[in-house]
Amino acid sequence: MAIKKINIAIAGATGFVGLDLVKILSKHPKVNLTNLCATKNLGKNIQFFDKSIKKKLPKISNLKKVDWSQIDVLFLSLPNGEAQKLVKKLFKYKKIKFIDLSADFRIKKPNIYKAWYGINHSAKHLIKDSTYSISEFSRDKLKKFRIIANPGCYPTSIQLALMPLIKKNLINKKNIIIDSKSGYSGAGKGFKTKFKHKNFFSSIQAYKTNMHRHMSELDQEFDNIKKGKIEYSFNPHILPFFRGLLSSVHLELKKNIKINTIYKALKNFYKDNTFIKIVKINKPLGTGNVINTNYCEISVCQGRDKNRIVVFSAIDNLIKGASGQAVQNMNLLFNFKESMSLK
């Protein structure tokens, strides 16, 4: 029997990620977008924020207008600390699945969440009902949970490049250097207050070296695979363009491991994954092919020393790093075709 359409509400529909969610879901054949919620510009059409969205949709409203008994999925594109409050309030509606694009349910230990985000978790009792989901790694367990914690953009690009190699024990786990560069949209609409450096739109800025909050995700997920202590440094940069993210992961190979082995391991790991493309060895990689898509491109390049390589991972930070992966997770939850509305 074909599954009927599901009813969707989006909290935070007018932010950068929220608008991409609206754009993707408005084209989804199994979705009714019933509520687009925000705290400002109530009563406006979504086209006020993005004229490329052609479909006639409900006007922007506040959360009080939602009939929660009719909602199947609530996407939460809210500032850190806000999603947990809303999930706590609405969890009594047994039908609702929550897909959270903030950090509120990514970190399993509330004390670690508090240490990195400075927020006391107000829904600790619901963390057990959540799962952290990079779609390619978690499709078999998603249906057991009502709260899906969508990963951050940096951890998505990094883990897609690294995890298969750690699991196969092909690299030195004590000498990993990660250099990532992202468009400014990753900081949200308030990016101008977060990055006040001179000549923002004509310069590159390194920030939060080895202190970025996404490291809490990486620490947790590296620990979860039980392959020994993973030692890494992480250096993020913000670039003066709107979207796109490129991670350069510098690795030392285990003894007798060659670059061809790395390439084959990645190709084999992702052979059944629609959105992961492993390009030819030593092919230069940028974000050009993945902008406005849910794809991740990965390239393996030989370093100057024969036992060192660089694995490049390119994604669109707003789509594969946020909204697209959230819809991919929704498709998996409801047994829709995984790529539905994402190609």
- 326 token code pair: 């959230």
Q: Phi first, then psi: what are they for 306, rounded to 5°?
A: -65, -20
**Domain 154-318: which CATH class?**
alpha beta
Q: Phi first, then psi: what are they for 48, rounded to 5°?
A: -60, -30
Q: Is the pLDDT of residue 1 over 60?
A: no
Whether residue 26 contacts residue 19, with contact meaning beta carbons closer than 8 Å, is answered with no
> Which residues are designated catalytic?
153
Q: Is the pLDDT of residue 201 over 70?
A: yes
pTM (predicted TM-score): 0.94
Confidence of residue 203 (pLDDT cuts 50, 70, 90): confident
Please indicate whether residue 202 or residue 268 has the higher confidence score (pLDDT). 268
Q: What are the b/e assignments for 197-235, b being 16+ CB within 10 Å?
A: eeeeeeeebeeeeeebbbbbbbebbbeeeeeeebebebb
| pLDDT tens digit sequence for 19-67 | 999 999 999 999 999 999 999 999 999 999 999 998 999 999 999 999 9
| pLDDT tens digit sequence for 259-308 | 999 999 999 999 999 999 999 999 989 999 999 999 999 999 999 999 99
pLDDT score of 190:
55
Residue that the structure tokens 């790529």 belong to: 339
Average pLDDT score over residue span 245-259: 97
pLDDT score of 4:
85
Q: Which amino acid is at 94?
A: K
CATH second-level architecture of 6-151+321-333?
3-Layer(aba) Sandwich (3.40)
pLDDT score of 199:
72
Bridge pairing between strands 176-183 and 232-239: parallel
SS3 content of the chain, % helix, strand, coil (to 5): 30, 20, 45
| pLDDT tens digit sequence for 79-130 | 999 999 999 999 999 999 999 999 999 999 999 999 999 999 999 999 999 9
Whether residue 231 contacts residue 174, with contact meaning beta carbons closer than 8 Å, is answered with yes
| pLDDT tens digit sequence for 127-158 | 999 999 999 999 999 999 999 999 999 999 99
pLDDT score of 186:
64
Q: Is the pLDDT of residue 191 over 60?
A: no
Q: Where are the domains of the chain?
A: 6-151+321-333, 154-318
Measured distance CA(108)–CA(199) in Å, rounded: 39
pLDDT score of 91:
98
Measured distance CA(257)–CA(274) in Å, rounded: 27
pLDDT score of 180:
97
DSSP 254: P
Q: Which amino acid is at 83?
A: A
Whether residue 302 contacts residue 282, with contact meaning beta carbons closer than 8 Å, is answered with yes
Whether residue 263 contacts residue 242, with contact meaning beta carbons closer than 8 Å, is answered with no
Q: Is the pLDDT of residue 226 over 90?
A: no
